[in-house]
Chain A
């Protein structure tokens, strides 16, 4: 099987380039995932650099652009890919080396939306003797957002994020924002929505839907962003 992989080492290369690799078909089983193939290629070329950790689509560290689509290599079957398999780092963020990108901006946006519960007014500490109860219906509202593993496949496939990566929060951070906006236990819904009401942070979303198409967990960040806009409207009107 043939692979064409983006290579770039800023210490030695002036320009990025694509390197061709060949992997013996006998080494590739029907069930082999792309991560397995990359590990075999690394045995051929120990310099080949990529991130990976759990190998089961849970940690979100091995996002990469495969044949033009952002995917997690550990849950992408090699047998389903067309040859040559062209692998690049996910687009839109600086490349550190080969397939490893600098996700600082991505995490900064996540940090900015304050992705944690704020169940008490500022300065009032939480009563640890009592649980923060939530009805099953309210709990169900969190489905479709809490499962995000922050792999970055969505944000780095979003043209609005490519154009304004420092100002537009991007689908992953907005999905997290939605998760806390709809949480019945959070008392800062209005403040959260107010801080998102900005021409860049939320309203750069042009409904392109690349995020939803590329999410390996089957989440729908685009829908979450539309919901945030509707909620803003409701809160303004009521």
Chain B
């Protein structure tokens, strides 16, 4: 398991992502509040405008990092030792799928 964001690195990334998300959410709420979302097109425009989409994409990636570290800790704490690896693999796969989905969503938003 070592190398997969464990120990000190995990500790650090959990804090970095937490701080980023703490700043991101109020900012996003404030920014989105300036726009109306009457149509899907209007929503896309608001999300893709300026640098906001980059900031948002980074936030989504950091949510994944945060989820990996937090969930991994919970699984290691609570799962019986024999099935910890299975649990971690399922978690890793699940987060990978979310990541792929996210990339797909981003690409299709940009292309349209």
CA distance A232 to B10 in the complex (A): 12
In the bound complex, residues from chain A placing their C-beta under 8 Å from that of B10 are: 199, 203
Nearest-CB residue, chain A, relative to B78: A163
CB–CB A203/B77 < 8 A: no
B7 interface hit (Cβ, 8 Å): yes
CB–CB A206/B73 < 8 A: yes
Contacting A at CB under 8 A, from B73-93, are 73, 76-78
Contacting A at CB under 8 A, from B1-24, are 1-2, 6-8, 10-12
CB–CB B7/A202 < 8 A: yes
Count A interface residues, CB 8 Å. 15
Contacting B at CB under 8 A, from A76-130, are none
CA distance A145 to B76 in the complex (A): 29
CB–CB A199/B12 < 8 A: no
In the bound complex, residues from chain A placing their C-beta under 8 Å from that of B2 are: 198-199
CB–CB B77/A199 < 8 A: no
Given A199-B1, A199-B6, answer yes or no on A229-B11 (Cβ-Cβ < 8 Å): yes
CA distance A203 to B6 in the complex (A): 9
Tell me the dominant secondary structure on chain A's binding face: loop
In the bound complex, residues from chain B placing their C-beta under 8 Å from that of A200 are: 76
In the bound complex, residues from chain B placing their C-beta under 8 Å from that of A198 are: 2, 6-7
In the bound complex, residues from chain B placing their C-beta under 8 Å from that of A163 are: 77-78
A160 interface hit (Cβ, 8 Å): yes
Tell me the dominant secondary structure on chain B's binding face: helix
In the bound complex, residues from chain A placing their C-beta under 8 Å from that of B12 are: 233
Nearest-CB residue, chain A, relative to B6: A199
Contact with B along A152-182 (1 / 0, CB 8 A): 0000000010011000000000000000000
A236 interface hit (Cβ, 8 Å): yes
CB–CB A204/B7 < 8 A: no
CA distance A197 to B6 in the complex (A): 9
CB–CB A204/B77 < 8 A: yes
In the bound complex, residues from chain A placing their C-beta under 8 Å from that of B78 are: 163
Least CB distance from B35 to A in Å reads 39
In the bound complex, residues from chain B placing their C-beta under 8 Å from that of A236 are: 8
CA distance A4 to B43 in the complex (A): 67
CB–CB A229/B8 < 8 A: yes
CA distance A236 to B12 in the complex (A): 11
B residues contacting A by CB (< 8 A) are 1-2, 6-8, 10-12, 73, 76-78
Closest 4 pairs (CB-CB, A-B): A199-B6, A197-B7, A197-B8, A232-B8
27 contacts between A and B (CB under 8 A): A160-B77, A163-B78, A164-B76, A164-B77, A197-B7, A197-B8, A198-B2, A199-B1, A199-B2, A199-B7, A199-B10, A199-B76, A200-B76, A202-B7, A203-B8, A203-B10, A203-B11, A203-B73, A204-B76, A204-B77, A229-B8, A229-B11, A232-B8, A233-B8, A233-B11, A233-B12, A236-B8
Not counting A199-B2, A199-B76, a sample of 19 additional A-B residue pairs whose C-beta atoms are within 8 angstroms of each other reads A160-B77, A164-B77, A197-B8, A198-B2, A198-B6, A199-B1, A199-B6, A199-B10, A202-B7, A203-B6, A203-B7, A203-B10, A203-B11, A204-B77, A206-B73, A206-B77, A229-B8, A229-B11, A233-B11
